[in-house]
Each structure stands twice: as structure tokens, then as C-alpha cells.
């Protein structure tokens, strides 16, 4: 017997979601020429449209924003048209889908940027790897963004949000997590600036908040979400003061009226207790929808919902091998295991060929 709350409809701004299960963003490195979503992408996303909300794979807001091979963009008309095929397919299945907007900052490689250096708040190389030329390699040395360049970054997010709505998305999520550009500005291990975007908690939060405000003004706060990962060490990021930093950020995001806050609780894809942090404090500071993410299974999701500690629950990797994850969770059916060899890159194998439950297994 499962707690029905997870499977009941939920109102998210102007949208009615079929249930409280969110498909988290999942990078699959399968974009085609021009970094247009793969011709297989509409099938992949439509197979998973029973989720209450799908958040798309991370999608770069500009050519400069790319950090991995074969990840899609949303800054050209061809990319917009490609994403329209995806959103139409999801909507035809009764689903809802937001685009995750992404600038990787220093998590990139010169081979992806026409020989240019990746950009960052400060010229500090991340101790991590990226996927380029069909291999995982060390990221390149970044250069520090000039303060005069930052309005352009904000505008890239704004324009990408407008493009996402043109492509038929129901809304967007700004990727402020996992060691990418917006989080690089937030966390002092990557940001050693001495101008208006560095130093204090308020200054380090500035770029995220400016980008969020610009997006909300463009498409509506009720279609704008933000993802954060306060204590995750993903991509070599560190922060000396995560609790006061994120208490401030969440209070400011709440004031902007955005529709949801998507929180990676703990280390991305790793331990939930990686570092002390009061996630419930963030929940109390945010007056609209809180999406909990990281290591959730059915018992934990039910418990957190019952305690009022979250409104929606995001599941990531289980959706890869289980396109009908919602049904499997609801019926208690076993979950299929993913094939790690087909996670990144390739074609249909390990992408659209994971089977749904057959009639016999449903009985």
C-alpha cells in the first residue's frame, strides 16, 4: 500500500500536475547537428510524460554556455524548432515540461568553445572533468568575466526563457546548482572577486538573483523555477558559509515570487548527509512550491510529504530505465536497472528502448 498523496494532482502556478512526481533533469549527450535535440528526444520525453512535471535535460543559453559534448541549446531557431517537437509530444500525452536553462561557466573545454577559454567569476580552474571528443578529460583553465560582461549573461538567460516559451515549454528552471556558472558566483571557493559580484553573501548571490528577476519579468514568475544545491561538492565547488548564503538566496527568491524552488539535498547523486545543513529552514523561508531532490525512494518521498517537508519530489536516474516510473511506484512493481554504458551519447540503445511494464507484470 502506498501513500496516495504522491499520486494526487497538484497545482503549480497556472498548471495542474497529474501527480507530485517530478522527472529531474538528466543530461544524456545526444543532441544532433547544431546542438538541436535528437530526433529521438520527442519519443524519450513522451515515454516519461506520466510524471507530474518533467524538467528537461540541462540546455545551454548560448554557445559560450556549453560545457559537454552533444548537449542541446535553446539559442537558435533550429534548436527552438527541435524543442517544439519535444514539448508537443509531451503535451499530447498530457504531460507538463519545463526547460532547464544552463550556463556551465568554468566546467568546459576549449575544444567546445572554438579555442576560447571557459568563463568564470574568477580564474580558478575546477578540479573536475568534462565530456568532450567522446572522452572524459580535465576542464580547461577559465578566464574571469569582466563586470561589463555580466549584463550579457543575464540577458542570455532572459532570451533563452523567451525561446523556451516559444518552443512550447510550460516554464523554465534556472540551473543554479552543481558547480555551474550561477553557483560559481554564489560559492566563495570559486568566486574571489572584489567587485559588486564578489565578497559578501549579498554580492555573491547577485548574478543568480538578477538572472532570475530577468527571466521572471520576461515569462512570468509563475512559470519560473530555480534549482540550487547548497552543500553539494559537484564539479569541485566549495563554500565556507552555505547556511547564511542560502538562507539569504531563498528569501530573495521568495520575494521575486517564483513558482518553485528545486533543492538538491546533500551531494548531487551522493550522500544526503554530506555536510550539516538545515534544508527545512529553506522550506520555511519559501512560500510556494518546494521540490525535494536527491536519493529519494518511495518511503522517503511519502515520509517527507506526510511531514509537510516538501510539495513535490524529484526522481532522476530511476526515470532513465523506467519510463513508466510513476506506475511502477504506484503499483509496487520492481524497478528496472539502467545500463551505465549507454548513459551518455549514442542513439536509441539505452535511451528509448527501456520497456514499460507488460500486461503480465501488471496483474
User: What amino acid positions are annotated as catalytic residues?
Assistant: 180
- Calpha distance 10→75 (Å, rounded): 31
Residue 3 class from Cβ within 10 Å (0-12 exposed, 13-18 middle, 19+ buried)? middle
4-8: long-range contacts at Cβ-Cβ below 8 A with a sequence spacing of 24 or more?
5/302, 5/305, 5/306, 6/298, 6/301, 6/302, 6/305, 6/313, 6/329, 7/326, 7/329, 7/330
Instruction: Give, as one character, the DSSP assignment of residue 234.
Output: G
C-alpha dihedral over 233, 128, 69, 339, to 10 degrees?
-70
For residue 237, which of 89, 102, 100, 128 has the smallest C-alpha distance?
128
The answer to whether 75 and 152 are in contact (CB under 8 A) is no
User: How many residues are listed for the chain in this entry?
Assistant: 363
For helices 201-219 and 242-256, give the axis angle rounded to 10 degrees.
Answer: 30
* Cβ proximity of 226 and 173 under 8 Å: yes
In this structure, the strands spanning 224-228 and 171-176 are parallel
Cα 102 from chain centroid? 8
* Distance in angstroms between the alpha carbons of the first and the last residue of the chain: 16
CA atoms within 13 A on the CB side of 90: 30
Asked if 121 and 184 touch (Cβ cutoff 8 Å), the reply is yes
Amino acid at each position: 500500500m502506498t501513500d496516495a498523496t504522491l499520486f494526487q494532482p497538484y497545482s503549480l502556478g497556472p498548471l495542474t500536475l497529474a501527480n507530485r512526481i517530478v522527472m529531474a533533469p538528466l543530461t544524456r549527450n545526444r543532441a544532433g547537428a547544431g546542438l538541436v535535440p535528437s530526433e529521438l528526444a520527442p519519443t524519450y520525453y513522451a515515454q516519461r510524460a506520466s510524471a507530474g512535471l518533467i524538467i528537461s535535460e540541462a540546455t545551454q543559453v548560448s554557445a559560450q554556455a556549453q560545457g559537454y559534448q552533444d548537449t542541446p541549446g535553446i539559442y537558435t531557431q533550429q534548436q527552438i524548432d527541435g524543442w517544439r517537437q519535444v514539448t508537443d509530444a509531451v503535451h499530447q500525452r498530457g504531460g507538463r515540461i519545463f526547460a532547464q536553462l544552463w550556463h556551465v561557466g568554468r566546467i568546459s573545454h576549449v575544444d567546445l568553445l572554438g579555442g576560447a577559454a571557459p568563463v568564470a567569476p574568477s580564474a580558478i580552474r575546477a578540479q573536475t572533468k568534462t565530456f568532450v571528443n567522446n572522452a572524459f578529460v580535465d576542464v580547461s583553465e577559465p578566464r574571469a568575466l569582466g563586470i561589463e560582461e555580466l549584463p550579457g549573461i543575464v540577458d542570455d538567460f532572459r532570451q533563452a526563457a523567451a525561446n523556451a516559451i516559444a518552443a512550447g515549454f510550460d516554464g523554465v528552471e534556472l540551473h543554479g546548482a552543481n558547480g555551474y556558472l550561477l553557483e560559481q558566483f554564489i560559492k566563495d571557493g570559486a568566486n574571489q572577486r572584489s567587485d559588486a559580484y564578489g565578497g559578501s553573501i549579498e554580492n555573491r548571490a547577485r548574478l543568480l538573483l538578477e538572472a532570475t528577476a530577468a527571466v521572471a519579468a520576461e515569462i512570468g514568475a509563475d512559470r519560473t523555477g530555480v534549482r540550487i544545491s547548497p552543500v553539494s561538492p559537484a564539479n569541485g565547488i566549495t563554500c565556507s558559509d552555505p547556511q547564511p548564503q542560502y538562507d539569504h538566496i531563498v528569501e530573495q527568491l521568495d520575494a521575486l515570487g517564483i513558482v518553485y524552488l528545486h533543492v538538491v539535498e546533500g551531494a548531487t547523486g551522493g550522500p544526503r548527509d554530506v555536510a550539516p545543513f538545515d534544508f527545512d529552514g529553506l522550506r520555511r523561508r519559501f512560500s510556494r512550491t518546494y521540490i525535494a531532490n536527491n536519493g529519494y525512494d518511495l518511503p522517503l518521498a511519502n515520509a517527507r510529504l506526510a511531514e509537510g517537508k516538501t510539495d513535490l519530489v524529484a526522481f532522476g536516474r530511476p526515470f532513465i530505465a523506467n519510463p513508466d516510473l510513476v506506475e511502477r511506484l504506484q503499483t509496487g512493481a520492481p524497478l528496472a536497472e539502467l545500463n551505465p554504458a549507454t548513459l551518455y551519447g549514442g542513439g536509441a540503445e539505452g535511451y528509448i528502448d527501456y520497456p514499460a511494464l507488460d500486461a503480465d507484470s501488471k496483474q
